[in-house]
Amino acid sequence: MGSKTIIVAGFGPGISSAVARRFGREGFTVALVARNAERLAAGVKELAAAGIQAEAFTADLSHADAIGGLVATIRGKLGPIAAIHWNTYGAGAGDVTTAPLAELASQVGMATVSLTAIVQAALPDLRAAKGVVLVTNGGLGFDKPELHAIGVQWGVMGLSVANAAKRKLVALLALKLAPDVYVGEVVVTGTVKGTAFDQGNATLDPNAIAERFWTLAQARKESTITI
């Protein structure tokens, strides 16, 4: 895939930071996208210290209608898009029987509509580059009774629905865009070290997850793996 641009959408500590470093080491220029400008600036500084070219783009990825303009801006500054890492998730709608409908719409929209928007906007570049779309997903989306129970008991019903919808979208995109564009997901079923969810007992190494993303992108075979 050469020296092209990767958009890391939903940048923060943990998986996305590790993916930015992993692809950056392979010659990718990295576009970091998130709402938190301070976090983005720190990410650019960290990558620069490792010899990786990166730029920050502050954006709220829940606003799907603005994603096309964001991608155009990134392309204008950094060149064609060869890869996307979608690492976003929404919040709210923990109890779908009482939550405002806008919270559930935001959760599912972030997982599906916004992901679709960034793929559509970058698709000409991705096709030309034989590029990749890499998606972080969560195990709550699996259709298993014990996970349904966790979704209810832990108050993460909205996230469970969003993860399930995202999983379906990844599968559809993988079939539709193959072989020109590879689409795949890593489904994370535990707590990742260094993230806001890490209370000292996290077991998953973000660098190992980033390596799995890189392996998927190179092999272009499996559309989903679980960690």
**Domains with residue ranges and CATH for the chain:** 5-226 (3.40.50.720)
pLDDT of residue 96: 97
pLDDT tens digits, 98-123 = 999 999 999 999 999 999 999 999 99
Strands 81-86 and 182-188: unpaired
Which amino acid is present at 196?
A: A
- Tell me which residues of the chain have a pLDDT lower than 50: 1-2
Residue 131 near residue 184 (C-beta atoms within 8 A): no
Which amino acid is present at 93?
A: A
Instruction: Compute the distance between CA of residue 112 and CA of residue 114 in angstroms, rounded to an integer.
Output: 6
Which amino acid is present at 178?
A: A
pLDDT of residue 3: 61
DSSP-based three-state secondary structure for 198: coil
Instruction: Compute the distance between CA of residue 91 and CA of residue 87 in angstroms, rounded to an integer.
Output: 14
Residue 58 C-beta-side C-alpha neighbours within 13 Å: 8
Instruction: Compute the distance between CA of residue 111 and CA of residue 107 in angstroms, rounded to an integer.
Output: 7
pLDDT of residue 1: 41
Phi, psi of 109 (to 5 degrees): -65, -40
Instruction: Compute the distance between CA of residue 81 and CA of residue 72 in angstroms, rounded to an integer.
Output: 10
Instruction: Compute the distance between CA of residue 212 and CA of residue 75 in angstroms, rounded to an integer.
Output: 26
- Residue 54 CB neighbours (<10 A): 24
Hey, what's the torsion of the CAs at 163, 214, 18, 93, to 10 degrees? -10
Measuring CA to CA, how many Å separate 208 from each of 97, 141, 200? 38, 22, 18
